[in-house]
Structure 1
């Protein structure tokens, strides 16, 4: 068993998610509740957030360590001022083959053309319901699902490759699974159903609110004929299916019911410049202090390489065996998806 765990931890680092801001313009399933994440919540001051120059430096170091994919996250990354400037810098880094961005889509109608012009080509858009009443209740701001759908239409017209992510909570929005599947099947946009995870400490997670991939798949196959699709690359977390007779697809992110720790190749940089080797981590390595201590490029590279090689995170495996481990975890608003 010990040898198997060691082998799991030898997995390569290929995918880096960088949170460019801790700010957001509405709540989601993984944000803190309104009584905490309200109008008086104290976001990070500007000098505590990595600058574009620091983000570019970090991305360059990780590209040298084998990272080929970057994803910009938040908070809501479209709230970061001059974001197209950062995208232009990142697309110029040797070794980076793919840059994506995760957004709630509220600002896409205005920003999609600017992001595309800067070199961005791929978007992951969060949408947990089509029904306006359900969606407004989930986001806590009265924002209509039509706003996000309009942003999706604009992004498609602009030329973006898009995936839509839906976090499913039992007793909250499971009735939206079939309408979402039908809508995005017709649109030809891949839809990912995400099991409700215990990210952070304040989203009210418990096992009773988890609708598993098996349960969702059962609901969908009552209405659709689905066939499995092979993984597109090593470490792909989505279990993908195609609607027979079409090129449209769906996928499932199964961190709760079917752990994928053994093949995870992702790392994360939080909004305040900490390096996390797991979405469920409690502590991160302070990259910002390294950068601001004027260490050389090679010194930064060696430090980050050691962090990845010495990781021992297997939270989802441990949850599956022992039940939910009790620990304080970094909030999604800092670490992104």
Structure 2
């Protein structure tokens, strides 16, 4: 198998987050305005044959892990066909998906059969009323049923992602963590990131503050991760079936081990979540670039991958070029 490309800081780039849509059926307060945003035109979105070609090109370069993202990927028509097609690429070692869970109840079994074995679901609260307030949609029960359907389908691990916001859901840190006693889930707590400068400083809670809240549940024991270059630090409570993950892009950033690229739904390659520059892969594809030319374009972008993000700079926060839903997380 081809060795993955490396960047100027000797990081092995073996993971691609691949957005297949900018559309979402929720309107989370930390992600987008209540009225939504202008949608990309149909012709601006990568077609499935273009997505599949990109997946084949990057796996031939040595990238062995792909995660399907959005917006909300499950809203795109024929998503099971796409997942099955990507899963069939011989060099691919891991195919996963991130979803808000609203449509997961009816699609979980099909996703598993298509070849996706790892799934991340956003779950910021266990309170239906608060869920409606955060997401602006009253569908907590659908999401919970989707998580249970994924559990029954055989997904392992199921990772539940909670963005922790002071004064919004930080009083539920312990309750969310206790899910790991009932289910073999990975409950992951993510520091609030400054995509909306106006309320960032009031809402931010550091990873150390989150850990302090978790210690009220019981002793946290650090555990090794099989995905050692992922963003989370892992812990477990004695007697728990699942794990706790702490993701701290602000207070304890994981840039030194970053192994990922991102492709947006409109075909732009980003070497950092908070990059200022993008590489237009869609234009190259549609102008008839060969696989070798596409590889050169991707390698050139990797050669310019920054050493780290600059989120700790207030000036940088105001210059973030895309909101999260338009990047793919």
Aligned counterpart, 1:132: 128
Q: Can you give the 5+ residue segments of structure 2 that lack an aligned partner in the other structure? A: 1-5
Q: Which moved more, 1:203-212 or 1:152-161?
A: 203-212
Aligned counterpart, 2:323: 331
Aligned counterpart, 1:3: none
Aligned counterpart, 1:42: 38
SS in 2 for 1:17: strand
Compute the TM-score of the two structures, normalised by the length of structure 2.
Answer: 0.93
Q: Which moved more, 1:205-214 or 1:171-180?
A: 205-214
Whole-Å separation in 1 of the counterparts to 2:55 and 2:197:
30
Query: What is the deviation of 1:203?
Result: 6.8
Aligned counterpart, 1:14: 14
Asked if the contact 2:124/2:161 (under 8 Å) is kept, the reply is yes
Q: Given the alignment, which residue of 171, 187, 190 partners 1:191? A: 187
SS in 1 for 2:311: helix
Q: Given the alignment, which residue of 172, 177, 202 partners 2:173? A: 177
Asked if the contact 1:33/1:203 (under 8 Å) is kept, the reply is no
Is 1:159 aligned with 2:154?
yes
Q: Given the alignment, which residue of 220, 239, 247 partners 2:214? A: 220
Aligned counterpart, 2:141: 146
Matches within 5 A, 1:251-262: 251-262=245-256
Query: What is the deviation of 1:152?
Result: 0.6
SS in 2 for 1:12: coil
Query: What is the deviation of 1:60?
Result: 1.3
Asked if the contact 2:17/2:261 (under 8 Å) is kept, the reply is yes
Residue-pair matches, total: 322
Aligned counterpart, 1:272: 266
Q: Deviations over 1:244-276 (max 9, x none)?
A: 234421011000110111110111000100000
Query: What is the deviation of 1:330?
Result: 1.6
Is 1:121 aligned with 2:113?
no
Asked if the contact 2:180/2:241 (under 8 Å) is kept, the reply is no
Q: Tell me: CA distance 1:91–1:27, structure 2 relative to 1, closer, same or farther (3 Å).
A: same
Whole-Å separation in 2 of the counterparts to 1:204 and 1:126:
23
Q: Can you give the 5+ residue segments of structure 1 that lack an aligned partner in the other structure? A: 1-5
Whole-Å separation in 2 of the counterparts to 1:246 and 1:23:
36
Query: What is the deviation of 1:89?
Result: 1.1
Q: Tell me: CA distance 1:234–1:227, structure 2 relative to 1, closer, same or farther (3 Å).
A: closer
Asked if the contact 1:68/1:97 (under 8 Å) is kept, the reply is yes
Query: What is the deviation of 1:30?
Result: 4.0
Q: Tell me: CA distance 1:235–1:119, structure 2 relative to 1, closer, same or farther (3 Å).
A: same
Compute the TM-score of the two structures, normalised by the length of structure 1.
Answer: 0.91
Is 1:294 aligned with 2:279?
no
Q: Tell me: CA distance 1:177–1:155, structure 2 relative to 1, closer, same or farther (3 Å).
A: same
Q: Tell me: CA distance 1:324–1:146, structure 2 relative to 1, closer, same or farther (3 Å).
A: farther
Asked if the contact 1:49/1:272 (under 8 Å) is kept, the reply is yes
Asked if the contact 1:185/1:249 (under 8 Å) is kept, the reply is no
Asked if the contact 2:181/2:239 (under 8 Å) is kept, the reply is no
Asked if the contact 1:18/1:268 (under 8 Å) is kept, the reply is yes
